[in-house]
Each structure stands twice: as structure tokens, then as C-alpha cells.
Amino acid sequence: MKLSRCFTALAAAAALTAACASAQAREYSVSTVLSDAFPWGQAAQKWADLVNERSEGRITLRVYPNAQLVTGDQTKEFSAMRSGLIDMAVGSTINWSPQVPELNLFSLPFLMNDNADLDAITQGEAGKLAFAAIEKRGIVPLAWGENGFRQLSNSAKPVRAPADLKGLKIRVVGSPLFQDTFTALGANPTQMSWADAKPALTTGAVDGQENPLSVFDVARIDQAGQKYLTQWNYMADPLIFAVNQRIWKELPEADRELLAQAARDAGEWEVALSREAEVKRLADIRERGVELIELNDAERQAFVDATRSVHEKWAPRIGKELMEAAQSAIAQP
């Protein structure tokens, strides 16, 4: 009987220790490429604020902006999270595509026309397949955010046709697909980190760049001699709220749901914020003396035709099932 009581006491103590451990405050790192001066950074901070509030301070998400956890090399973020050097992230499909080829779907030039096409992909079967591809590689995706459609700026001339890009040095991110796209358009794509991009634009080492309006606006790229901005919506860059798989498995079910719901809420908030701000951003950019070029249907189609070879090359790497799901989503009325 005494032995039985001893085991009972030990079991109770173990249960109490486990309960105390689960109730202990925990802190996790969250990587993001841009600070909270941009919608991207604001998405990460909103997630952190919601988690802190809903866990009553028990769970802290500490946001590390400017890709500082990977010394500024944003393309290493996914690998660092997978290895456990980063706990969580609000990351870009562009930056994660070297490790998750399926995410190149979103970088295909002129696949999507507008936000309706983007939403049809992310919120449907294609979005589920993209999340499955991420999870297969050791990361648990929770929700979508948005970095916006990417537009083209340069210091040389208005760009209305592929011929206008011939010979222009355009800064691009570290993705082979971007190299292929701008090569197909006759430009001279130059890969460099964002930290190096603005100085290169200022000195004229490169002629132009492509980024969402929020980046052009907040980073004041017009001050780097970028006098012409072509609104061509050539690709979108969704953001993904995600967690290292090992950490996810260690969390109690209730905390998993708290993190996931907070990510979904932060994502929806940030998407709405980003889209609502675009009209004012355009007005502000125009007031600063930037010439805005809006393409008509025929002009945009010329860019579509010029980049068909890029689709043909990259579609097999993305995968037939995902490509078909995305194309079907866009085709729906």
C-alpha cells in the first residue's frame, strides 16, 4: 500500500510539473524581411500583439525585422526556420521559393490580373496545395498575408512595351525565375539584396527595380532617381505566417489554435490594410513627380506574349496539379 501511495504521489507530482510547464511564459522569435514601417512588418507585429493579448502574456512573439536573423539574406529564412534557428516567420513566397519550388507559382509573370485572381488561388485548392508543399518540408503554414502586386520603376524612360526594357539594368531578387522573366523581356536583370538595391539605384549602377507600391512609397524610391513607374501587376507576392514543425508539435492543442487563429486574423487585417492604402499611395507618388504609366489591355498582352517561354520552362517545376488548380481558380467567373 505504501508503495502504491508512493507511485500515486509521484504521478501527481509529475502531472503538476507538466501543468506548470505548460502554463509557463514562452517566447518565440519571428523573422520578417521588412520593418513595421511597411504592411509586411505590421503583419508580423499584429500577429505578435494578438498572441500576447489572447494568451494574457503567456506567449510572446518577438519580431526581428530586416531579415536580421539571417544577416540580411532573406532567401535563407526558410532554411533557418526549418533548422530551428528561427521559430516562426511571416515570409514571402519569393524568398521561400528556392526551398519550396511550388511557390514559384506566384512569381510566374502575368499569371494573375488582379486581387480577385490572387484570392481565388490562395483561398482555394491551389492555396491548400501550396501549404501542403511547405508542410512537407518541415514548416507549418498557418495563414496568408500580402506584400502586393509588384510594379516596375526606372530612371530612364516610360516602359509601355517589352522593347522599352531592352538593355535596362533591372535589380531583381535572388530567384532564377526573375532572371528568366527579365531576360525574356530584353532587360539586363541584376541580382542583389534589398539592402544593396537603393544605393545602386542612387548611383545609377542599375536603372530600375520591381517592388510593390508600399515598398516604392515608404522607402522613397523616387529619391533614388526612379522617375517612371509602370503599373503592370506582373506578379503578386503573398506572405505566409508559419511555424517550425518541431515547435508546433510541442505546443498544446489550445496554443496551436490560438497561434493559428491570431495568424489568420492578422493576415486578414493586413491584406485589407495594404489594399485600402494603395489609392493614397498612388496619389502621393504622383505628387512627388513620378510619371505613372498604366497599361491598356493590348499593351499588357504584349508582355504576356513575351514571357510565355518562362511559363513553359517553370510550369513543370511548379507541378501539374498545382498549375491546373491555379488556372482553374482564375478561370472561374
| Predicted local distance difference test score (pLDDT) of residue 156 | 97
CB 242 within 8 A of CB 145: no
Say if 198 falls within a structural domain. Answer: yes
Grid look-up 539592402 returns 195
CA angle 299, 302, 304 (to 5 degrees): 115
Of residues 87 and 174, the one with the higher pLDDT is 87
| Predicted local distance difference test score (pLDDT) of residue 72 | 85
254 has a pLDDT exceeding 60: yes
* Average pLDDT of the segment spanning 261-271: 98
239 has a pLDDT exceeding 50: yes
| Predicted local distance difference test score (pLDDT) of residue 23 | 58
* Average pLDDT of the segment spanning 150-166: 97
CB 94 within 8 A of CB 299: no
Grid cell in block for residue 169: 539594368
* Average pLDDT of the segment spanning 173-182: 93
Say if 19 falls within a structural domain. Answer: no
* Average pLDDT of the segment spanning 183-207: 93
| Predicted local distance difference test score (pLDDT) of residue 121 | 98
Give the confidence band of 168 by pLDDT, cuts at 50, 70, 90. Answer: very high
Grid cell in block for residue 69: 536573423
Helix 39-54 to helix 253-276 angle (10° resolution) is 150
Structure confidence by residue, pLDDT tens digits, 54-77: 999 999 999 999 999 998 888 899
* Average pLDDT of the segment spanning 41-62: 98
Give the confidence band of 170 by pLDDT, cuts at 50, 70, 90. Answer: very high
Give me the domain span that covers residue 109: 26-331
Instruction: Give kind and range of the element (H or E) at residue 62.
Output: strand 59-64
Say if 2 falls within a structural domain. Answer: no
Of residues 4 and 276, the one with the higher pLDDT is 276
Residue 77 sits in a domain of what CATH number?
A: 3.40.190.170
CA torsion through residues 217, 184, 207, 175, sign: positive
**Strand boundaries in 85-203, DSSP class E:** 88-92, 139-154, 169-172, 188-191
Share of the chain above pLDDT 90, in %: 87
Say if 7 falls within a structural domain. Answer: no
CB 209 within 8 A of CB 81: no
CA angle 145, 118, 40 (to 5 degrees): 25
Say if 54 falls within a structural domain. Answer: yes
Instruction: Give kind and range of the element (H or E) at residue 260.
Output: helix 253-276
| Predicted local distance difference test score (pLDDT) of residue 21 | 45
260 has a pLDDT exceeding 70: yes
| Predicted local distance difference test score (pLDDT) of residue 3 | 45
- Put simply, whether the predicted model's pTM sits higher than 0.85 gets the answer yes
Say if 4 falls within a structural domain. Answer: no
| Predicted local distance difference test score (pLDDT) of residue 199 | 93
* Average pLDDT of the segment spanning 41-53: 98
13 has a pLDDT exceeding 70: no
Say if 6 falls within a structural domain. Answer: no
State the total domains in the chain: 1
Grid look-up 514601417 returns 37
| Spatial separation of the C-alpha atoms in residues 142 and 261, rounded to whole Å | 8
Say if 18 falls within a structural domain. Answer: no
Average model confidence (pLDDT) for the chain?
92
